[in-house]
Amino acid sequence: MGTSPLGGGQRGARKAEARSESALKEGGVWLHGLHPVAAALANPARRLRRLLLTAEAEQALAARLPPPWRIAPERAERARFATFLPEDAVHQGVALLVEPLPNPPLDKALAHRDGPVLVLDQVTDPRNIGAILRSAAAFGAAALVMQDRHAPPETGTLARAASGALELVPVVREVNLARAIESLKQAGLWVVGLDGAAPVTLAQAGLGGRRVALVLGAEGEGMRRLTREHCDELARLPIAPEMESLNVSAAAAVALYELNRG
């Protein structure tokens, strides 16, 4: 009779480890990196499931957000993160398994802060959306509105690019973007579509004293026709003629700065 190269205890340990790694890959959203994880730990609305970190990362996280935390940490070796995070994830030795944030209704998001609102029309790159959220938080935007179907879900990549802003700026997902724009108008916002062919610049639009909803379209295609038609007016950013356009996240940052300056 042949014998197994592993004893029963070893086989049991391997099976338990395999089950553990399988559980790490299932359900929820893995946030990674010190900024996103610290922000999620500090957000009472965020439901937490597991926190894995290396010894070095535990010290760095504690320096950023002093414990006790709302969840007990689990010590992990750096190599373990490759079993459940994307290959290119810059995790800094820390990962937090969370439930996705709830989708707030538009009226509740508008009451979050008395600032501008960003509306994204079929912007699909999670890194761009994360960068836009970071600018939204930096310049006091009240909310980010995007489509439910033609936009990426909440992911660790998006949260990493947002650098903690995902926990600060409400993200509203709407089935019908044109209808959402009409709701913004009814709430008293002036809806401005950012369009490189617009006759006036954002600075020339005379928006002082108005609460603005700024609509940005996908790179290359820009806003769809129906979205453009629902805007109150169109405006552009004054960029050099040698450059056709800006990256959508860069355009959002410049536009938010201009609105704040005005």
Same domain assignment for residues 149 and 225: yes
Q: Say which residue, 160 or 240, is predicted with more confidence.
A: 160
Q: How many domains does the chain have?
A: 2
Band the pLDDT of 26: cuts 50, 70, 90: low
| 3 within a domain of the structure (yes/no) | no
CATH number at residue 124: 3.40.1280.10
Q: pTM of this prediction?
A: 0.87
| 204 within a domain of the structure (yes/no) | yes
Q: What is the pLDDT of residue 3?
A: 39
Mean pLDDT of the chain: 89
Same domain assignment for residues 94 and 112: no
The answer to which of 78-82, 94-98, 177-181, 241-245 has the lowest mean pLDDT is 241-245
Q: What is the 3-state secondary structure (H, E, C) of the chain?
A: CCCCCCCHHHHHHHHHHHHHHHHHHCCCEEEECHHHHHHHHCCCCCCEEEEEECHHHHHHHHHHCCCCCCCCEEECCHHHHHHCCCCCCCCCCEEEEECCCCCCCHHHHHCCCCCCEEEEECCCCHHHHHHHHHHHHHCCCCEEEEECCCCCCCCHHHHHHHCCHHHCCCEEEECCHHHHHHHHHHCCCEEEEECCCCCCECHHHCCCCCCEEEEEEECCCECCHHHHHHCCEEEECCCCCCCCCCCHHHHHHHHHHHHHHC
Same domain assignment for residues 117 and 182: yes
Q: What is the pLDDT of residue 261?
A: 85
User: What is the per-residue pLDDT across 125-164, written as a single tens digit (0 to 9) for each?
Assistant: 999 999 999 999 999 999 999 998 888 999 999 999 999 9
Same domain assignment for residues 127 and 238: yes
189: containing domain:
106-261
Reply yes or no on whether the pLDDT at 255 is more than 90: yes
